[in-house]
Structure 1
Amino acid sequence: MADQSLGQPMLNLNNVSGLPRLDDLNEHTDWLRQLDITVHDFPYIDSILKQAFAEWRKQISDMPELGEVDVFLAGSCGEKLLIDSLNPRQLLERSWPSGMEEVIKESLCERKAIAVQKADGVYAAVPVHTRIHGELFAMIGCLMRESCTSEALLFAKMTARLYQTCFYRCFEGMFITDLVRIQQQAKREEQRRSKLFQMVQKLHDKIDVDSVLTEVFERVSNMYPNARLELLMSQDHVSFDPRVKSFQLLGQGDELLVRAFMEGRMQTRNIIDSTGDGESSLEIAVPLSGKQGVYGVFHLQIEREEIDDVDLQLISMLADTAGTAFENAKLYEQSNLLINELRLINELTKRLNQSLRLKEVFQFATEELLSIFQAEYCCISQVNKHTETFEIMSCNVPGLSKEHFSMTYGFSGLVYSTQEPIILSDFQAYGKVTSRFMEETNSRSLITAPLFVRGEVIGVIMLAHRKPRFFSYDNYKLLQVLSSHIGLAIANASLHAEVRRMANRDMLTGLYARHYVDDAIKEFQKRDANGSLIIVDIDQFKQVNDTFGHQTGDKILKQVCSIVKNSIRKTDIAARWGGEELAVYLPGASAENSYEIAETIRLRVAMDTDPPVTVSCGIAEWGKDDEKLSVESLFYVADMALYKAKNNGRNQTQIGSREDAPSL
């Protein structure tokens, strides 16, 4: 075994390629006899020399007593190793006699066996050579006190021969032991790789995140039944497995986990037994990471004797594989989530756009948001530019409906000032913002998003839940997407309401348009028992325009309209009938009631207009028992009454007769 060191823990088998399988060693052992030591191994064979000496001693234990004989073992350079006495009744002196040292030294110099008679007995020394190259690797010496030189020399040679046999038996046994250990290690490595390959196959078959984690837990439990394993994940992953926990970077005593998470590589730490007897277990922190980052840390604690460096490599490869599979499953889930989000956005947008009534849009948005995010509470507020406050437009908290809040109050004020969304894991721990919405509902989790229209914040959406850390980062991002569509729907509904308002109003006077009062009277006639209509006409209005100009005429028209609006009830409807004619419908009012209101209008117009003008009024009344019940007939009767007032000298009020209604 040239260039090999027997002091190493394992023999190098590079020079003995083509060895037979260990299962066939009983039939094929010739190759063992071709193995030998060389001078390069001599500095490292003391332990084998001593082991062979002990084996030799066992071999001769059954031999008859040989008298007073001491046997000595020395190394290849004559260094003293062992001494033994073959006479059990003799008390052996452990110090080497000087005569033995001299004889061994002489035998080493002459490279042959010698025997020398001295005063205390016969000293013999025999070199022990390697079996192939014949190199001297040990010395056997003996001291026989009752023998001649020839007998001592013969005994020493026989002892050396037997010792050589014992030495090579120990050497071959050690070699075979190393081979068995190599085979066992190779078998273990093969099993590990087989398990890793099977796990890789199974992990990459999984498309569900929780299934990936469960597979990892099962594999580690099978390989290391006594190990304690947990997975510390970032906040955006929620699992019902008790072994999966939230990763807290600020925890005390978690430096190992923090390092593994921040550095992205395995960290280990020896845990010393509390009794002080030494290392009892190994703590391992290995990151669960993919190409996009670190998702968590596997925390493993295992008995020290159950794991070695190869196991650490296996655990590291397992974690890397699990990280890749986890990332793939996560990406698959995210792609499905994105598809569902797009489908959800499309459906939500379609349903939002189905209604152009602002109240319905707010109510529908609240219901849908509660359902989508599984939130317990939802509040949508809108900026009221006239009062410079937030007005609660829709909320499932009864105490907050229709409330108004300052533009700087609470989370709505924070969102309005920063124009940024908010995600809050625990309101109780936050404590920087007061919020009636959170306090009245005892909520702890919150996500908010601004409602934008043309780059301006017009409102705020707030979703809350009583559990801490309820909303994920994906929820936070989805709300931002949905809020843009909800904001657009609100803007469309608001614009439609404004257009409808403008279409129903006269731009000059601010009164309702003619078609609006027509439609309103039709609805009232369907459900009311009676009602009245007043037509107001400004007397000689053309003369006013000709005298003072059309701008003054418009001014007088506005003055008259203002007097009309301030003289009627909130339930009454005032409209511009056309030109200088105005119409006032009074639901449920009799002709007598309408006459009083008309007179009030007439008198106030005469006193409060500048330049002063007068008006004439015509009144018509309808009831359920009328045969000629219609909007047209009602206006016809009122118009005839107005015509009568004009013919009678103007500046007066006349009540029309139902008999004047045209036939149908």
Structure 2
Amino acid sequence: MEELSTMIKIKYYELMTNVNTFNSNEKFYSGLVKLLLDVVPCKTIGLYRYQTGSNYFTLETATGDVDTTSLLRSIIDKQSFYTMTINNSHVQFPVNQCDVLQIEDNEIHPLIIPLQPKKGAIGFLCFLFNNNVKTPPVNIMKVIKIETERVIYSTYDRYRMETTIEKNRFLYELVLKFASARDNNEILTEIIKSIRRVYPDFSYYLLLSQDYDADPRLPVKLLEFSDDDTKRVSTEAFISGELQIENRYNEQNTSLFAPLTGEQGVYGVLEIITPVVMEFSDDEIAFIENFVQAAGKAIERTTLYQESKHLVKDLKLINDTSHQLNSNLQLTEITHLVKNKVIDACQPSEIAFLYSSGNKEAGIDFLSGTTDFFNTRDGRNLGVDLFEKTLETRESTFSGEFTWENPVAYKSVMVIPMEHAEIIHGVVIILHEKTYAFSFNSYKLLQSLIRHSTLAVLNTILKEQLERAVSTDYLTQLFSRNYLDEQIRKHMNSGEMGTLILFDIDDFKIVNDTHGHYVGDEVIKQVANIILMNINDADVGARWGGEELAVYLPDSDINAGVNLAGVIRKQIESFTEPAVTVSAGVSTWKSVDNDTAKDFFIRADKALYDAKSFGKNCVFKIAYGEKAEMQQF
């Protein structure tokens, strides 16, 4: 036995003498087990090393007559059986076949020699002996144990350097992949893919500080800030920017939280969950810190790049919009322009433009460009409530889980005030059915867009109000005689036909003499309001002069005019206080006739005169080239 012991030591010495001939630790360990196979009468030998940062022993190398693939590639240390045995300095101990073999073989039996070198990972040698072969005595196995621990100790620094070089190469290749990534989704995918290569038996989550439109198949969660025990550690890692480790004994695992840190901030946390409670070595922690630092910088780079692209796009949008707003547009053109920009920015379901002059009697107007929902009762009530809330708080609204006193289908809401000179003149309301449908970037963009558009909207409203004031009769709010004349002449140059109705309040002098001029003015206003309630937007209602009023119906024939005149005449007779009646004259023009605006006016005036002469409170019509004719109703 002494000779065998000496021979084993000589073999180990020769192995160490030729250590530089092995160009990798893998080949060195392969040489080690081949050496042992020459001196130990067994079928197969495998060398297992403990993987720091996991609870596994991994097969480094194996050789022998039995198919080496029958050995388990990794052995989980259930209840720390192997580590406790190794730490107790046993020379050898038997194990069951199922502990080390993938397929049991009744003709062999395994034997373990634990290894606990002064440096490096613990491990063990696994010998497979035929059942009819006597195992070497304990003193021989002890020599093998001591010499193997000695060579592992002697090659530890080399092994560590090789591992460091391999991990640095891995990180270098990772950085190159990050550099070629076009967006954050590619980076997040590469983070999970790469960490799985290093720790295939662990679980992972990316806890992100914001939504990066990640692939839904990735284990991504939004980071939740909470004092709850399950979330406190991830919150601490994110806020402090330092790696945190939590042993969860109830769940029998360990969670490591590594912050994804860039130069300008922390973008999330990588959570690594082990299948059992375990410790991470300093080398593993250093590697993970380098890994997440590279990932954090990559996320920061693509985030800043995407933000810069969005910023350039947003600035171009604002600039283009500003140029268009400065091109003397009408109010409807402005609101539709802004509406289209809003749709491009965030694809909303509904949009509303609300405006108030500040006059309580004038109320709140829903401007052109407002979508259909706001024409409903719930829509108008919601719009008014949101406007009034904005006036009260003087703040925008940005909500992804919106609730209202009445149930509505819209969960995402943005309310952006139209503010100028510290006065809120209106709001733009943007809705969507989905929760969190709008990003914060789109919200900031629309704030800027509305801010740039507000002055143009206000100036256009003021301009249209001034134009209307010039062309509107102050008492009746109908258009002026000059405006009516201008619109008729324009239409006669471009249209096909048109009809003019002239109304005259019967015996109006008696109203003034009996009730006074104030009541007389009120009667004129009542008549004007009845006219306004019965005409369309395309029609022109005007004060012709004194107690005479007019309606021009573009593209309508004389019969349509006669019918409308009859309706208005009856309503005036029924709904004025004090009660009055009107006489009406109707005339028409057609482009096929050799007609003029002057003759057209004269015919309408002649028809009105005939109605007054006939006995008042009636309607007469005169078509081109025809005589006056009274109409019965």
The question of a shared fold, defined as TM-score above 0.5 by the shorter chain, is answered with yes
Match of 1:456 in 2: 423
Give the Cα separation in 2 of the matches to 1:414 and 1:220. Answer: 49
Q: What whole-Å deviation, never above 9, does each CA across 1:607-652 have from its counterpart, x for those lacking one?
A: 99xxxxxxxx99784454994422122235678999999xxxxxxx
Q: Partners of 1:566 and 1:413 in 2: how far apart? A: 29
Would the alpha carbon gap of residues 577 and 247 (structure 1) be closer, same or farther in structure 2, given more than 3 Å must change? same
Aligned letter for 1:633?
A: D
CA shift, 1:268, in A, is 1.1
Residue of structure 1 in register with 2:225 after alignment: 249
Distance 1:496 1:658 in 2: 39
CA distance in 1, matches of 2:338, 2:203: 47
- 1:285 — aligned with what? 257
In structure 2, which of residues 340, 343, 360 is the aligned counterpart of residue 370 of structure 1? 343
1:512-549 deviation line (CA, Å, top 9, x unaligned): 3344212443477645575445799x99xxxxxxxxxx
Aligned ranges 1:120-269 → 2 under 5 Å: 176-240=151-215, 241-250=217-226, 251-269=228-246
CA distance in 1, matches of 2:421, 2:184: 40
**C-alpha distance in 1 between matches for 2:518 and 2:221:** 75
Instruction: Pick closer, same or farther for the CA change 1:176–1:358 going to 2, 3 Å.
Output: same
Q: Distance in 2 between matches of 1:389 and 1:524?
A: 34
Per-residue CA deviations over 1:145-195 (Å, capped at 9, x if unaligned) read xxxxxxxxxxxxxxxxxxxxxx99999876543221221111111111121
CA distance, structure 2, for counterparts of residue 627 and residue 170 of structure 1:
122
Q: Displacement of 1:311 after TM fit?
A: 1.1
Deviations along 1:469-502, one digit per CA (max 9) or x if unpaired, are 3322212212211222343343243223213312
Query: Judging changes above 3 Å, is the alpha-carbon distance between structure 1 residues 435 and 294 closer, same or farther for their aligned structure 2 residues?
Result: farther
The residue type equivalent to 1:216 in the other structure is I
> What is the aligned partner in structure 2 of residue 445 from structure 1?
412
Is 1:408–1:414's contact at 8 Å kept on the other side of the alignment? no
Q: Distance in 2 between matches of 1:376 and 1:510?
A: 36
Name the aligned partner's letter for residue 182 of structure 1.
Answer: D
- 1:493 aligned to which of 460, 465, 481: 460
Say whether residues 1:635 and 2:611 are aligned partners.
no
Using a 3 Å threshold, how does the CA distance of structure 1 residues 342 and 591 change in structure 2: closer, same or farther?
closer
Deviations 1:33-58 (A, max 9, x none): xxxxxxxxxxxxxxxxxxxxxxxxxx
Secondary structure at the residue paired with 1:253? helix
**Which has the higher mean CA deviation after the structures are superposed, 203-212 or 321-330?**
203-212
Structure 2 residue identity aligned to 1:246: L
Equivalent positions of 1:214-613 (< 5 A) are: 214-240=189-215, 241-250=217-226, 251-272=228-249, 281-302=253-274, 307-350=280-323, 356-383=329-356, 385-387=359-361, 389-393=363-367, 394-398=369-373, 400-401=375-376, 410-427=385-402, 434=404, 436=406, 439-441=407-409, 443-506=410-473, 511-522=478-489, 526=495, 528=497, 530-533=499-502, 565=528, 570-571=534-535, 575=542, 584-585=550-551, 587=553, 588=558
Q: Partners of 1:629 and 1:346 in 2: how far apart?
A: 50
User: Which letter does structure 2 place at the counterpart of 1:229?
Assistant: Y
- In the aligned structure 1, how far is the partner of 2:384 from the partner of 2:528? 37
Aligned residue for 2:398, secondary structure, equals: strand
After TM superposition, give the deviation of residue 245 of structure 1 in Å. Answer: 0.9
| Letter of the structure 2 residue corresponding to residue 416 of structure 1 | L
* 1:35 alignment partner in structure 2: none
Count matched residues: 463
Distance 1:231 1:321 in 2: 15
Partner of 1:282, secondary structure, is: strand
Query: C-alpha deviations, 1:376-404, integer Å up to 9, x for none?
Result: 33333333634475444454454644778
Secondary structure at the counterpart of residue 633 of structure 1: helix
Distance 1:470 1:591 in 2: 54
Q: Structure 1's 471 and 177: CA in aligned 2 closer, same or farther, altered over 3 A?
A: same
What's the TM-score once normalised by structure 1's chain length? 0.56
SS at match of 1:200: helix
Q: Which amino acid aligns with 2:318?
A: I
What RMSD over aligned residues (CA atoms) do the two structures have, in Å?
5.3
CA-to-aligned-CA distance 1:426-452 (integer Å, 9 cap, x gap): 23xxxxx6255xx332x3232221122
Name structure 2 gaps, 5 residues minimum.
Answer: 1-15, 23-141, 509-516, 573-577, 612-618, 628-633
Give the whole-Å Cα distance in 1 for the aligned partners of 2:363 and 2:489. Answer: 38
Change (3 A) 1:499 1:415: same
The structural deviation recorded for 1:299 is: 0.2
Q: Distance in 1 between matches of 2:501 and 2:400?
A: 61
Matching residue of 1:22:
19
Q: Is the 8 A contact 2:502 2:608 kept in 1?
A: no
Q: Is the 8 A contact 2:184 2:214 kept in 1?
A: no
Q: Higher Cα Rg: structure 1 or 2?
A: 1
1:567-611 deviations in whole A, cap 9, x for unaligned?
A: 967548565679x8967356547899989999x99xxxxx99xxx
Between the two proteins, what is the percent identity of the paired residues? 23
> Given the superposition, is the C-alpha separation of residues 408 and 388 from structure 1 closer, same or farther in structure 2, using an over 3 Å criterion?
farther
Instruction: Tell me how far 1:337 sits from its aligned partner.
Output: 0.7
| Contact 1:234–1:246 (8 Å) recurs in 2 | yes
Secondary structure of 2:268's aligned partner: strand
For 2:201, what is the secondary structure of its paired residue?
Answer: coil
Q: Residues 199 and 380 from structure 1, CA distance in 2 versus in 1: closer, same or farther, beyond 3 angstroms?
A: same
Q: Which moved more, 1:233-242 or 1:310-319?
A: 233-242
The 1-side partners of 2:437 and 2:530 are apart by: 57
> Residues of 2 paired with 1:20 and 1:496: CA distance?
98
For structure 1, which segment, 559-568 or 389-398, has the greater mean C-alpha deviation from structure 2 after superposition? 559-568
- Which amino acid is the alignment partner of residue 629 of structure 1? D
- Unmatched runs of 5 consecutive residues or more in structure 1: 1-18, 26-166, 275-279, 428-432, 540-553, 602-606, 609-616, 646-652
Secondary structure of 2:230's partner? coil
